Amino acid sequence: MHPEPGEGVGMEHVKSAGPSRPAARAVWTAIVAAAFLLVSAYPGNAASPAQAQADEAAQAVEKIANRTLKVLENANLDTPSRQGCLERVLSESLDLKAISNFTLGHHRSALSEEQRRTFEETFGSYVVASYARRISRRAPESVDVIASRQVTPQTAAVSTRAKKADGGNVVWTWRLLKRDGRYRIVDLQMAGVSLAVTYRSKIGATLASEGFDSVLSELRMHLDDGTAMRVEQIALFQLLGLNPGTIAERVALSKD
């Protein structure tokens, strides 16, 4: 999955992240397509330049993880200060332009330049604030790189093992895009879950049924309330190895 404008990576028919069976099949197909592109583009005997790019991407993920954990371990920071520090780390680490373009998908061509710019700013602020809140509440104790590979000349995939507070582990795949000489994150995936596909499905469905203004209104509401889209919350819970179907986690979900 290459989150550049006009590239659908087999996900043009994803309309909703809701519970209906056709929609669920569409989302799953999208994730499988993205995962297929992730692995099929990687040669089994990568040349040295390709491995060098993969190593560079792995170092970028390690740096991001270390910066994040350093903020969380700083006992001198109060909650607002910690949130602000996390948002700065995320703003520098995420390729918000690429994520925004991928999220809009084919709807992007129907928007004016001003609308695209407004969406990128609003959606970017939403993503950064939402991630920062989630990380501050449910961050893993450690994140270790276990594999990395170059996917295209500009993209790489880095697999990590995250240790949870309860002693369990979850394995994540980070998708990174190299632009302006450095790698930034464009997606976080594990089996059956992709944050990029989740955003694209939810926002694409709203754009199709209610229009651009409704998308902006919803994002701004979540920014003002300090909340997140429910489909995003569920995806993040799954990425953290939690079961949002249990009573305890449903309570926690409603509070986030």
DSSP code string of 68-98: HHHHHH-TT--HHHHHHHHHHHHHHHB-HHH
- pLDDT band with cut points at 50, 70 and 90 for residue 253: low
Give me the pLDDT at residue 239, please: 84
Please report, as a single letter, which amino acid is at residue 247: I
Please say if the pLDDT value at position 188 is more than 70: yes
The mean-pLDDT minimum among 48-57, 98-107, 232-241 falls in 232-241
Question: pLDDT tens digit string along 4-63?
Answer: 433 333 333 333 334 444 544 554 455 544 544 444 444 444 457 889 999 999 999 999
Q: Which two tokens stand for residue 197?
A: 């596909």
Give me the pLDDT at residue 20, please: 47
List, as one string, the DSSP characters of 144-209.
EEEEEEE-SSSEEEEEEEEE-TTS-EEEEEEEEEEETTEEEEEEEEETTEEHHHHHHHHHHHHHHH
Of all residues in the chain, the percent with pLDDT exceeding 70 is 76
Contact of 98 with 122, CB cutoff 8 Å: no
Give me the pLDDT at residue 38, please: 44
Q: What is the mean pLDDT of residues 199-204?
A: 97
Give me the pLDDT at residue 184, please: 98
Count H helices and E strands in the chain, helices first.
Answer: 9, 5
Q: What is the mean pLDDT of residues 187-214?
A: 95
Q: How far apart are CA 236 and CA 244, in angstroms?
A: 10
Q: In what order do the strands lie in the sheet with 142-150?
A: 142-150, 155-163, 169-179, 182-190, 193-194
Give me the pLDDT at residue 134, please: 86
Please report, as a single letter, which amino acid is at residue 166: D
Give me the pLDDT at residue 173, please: 96
The mean-pLDDT minimum among 57-71, 133-147, 166-180 falls in 133-147
Q: What is the mean pLDDT of residues 219-246?
A: 84
Please say if the pLDDT value at position 212 is more than 50: yes
Please report, as a single letter, which amino acid is at residue 78: D
Give me the pLDDT at residue 45, please: 45
Please say if the pLDDT value at position 1 is more than 70: no
Please say if the pLDDT value at position 129 is more than 50: yes
Give me the pLDDT at residue 244, please: 58
Q: How far apart are CA 218 and CA 235, in angstroms?
A: 18
Domains by residue range for the chain, with CATH: 21-255 (3.10.450.710)
Q: How far apart are CA 131 and CA 129, in angstroms?
A: 6
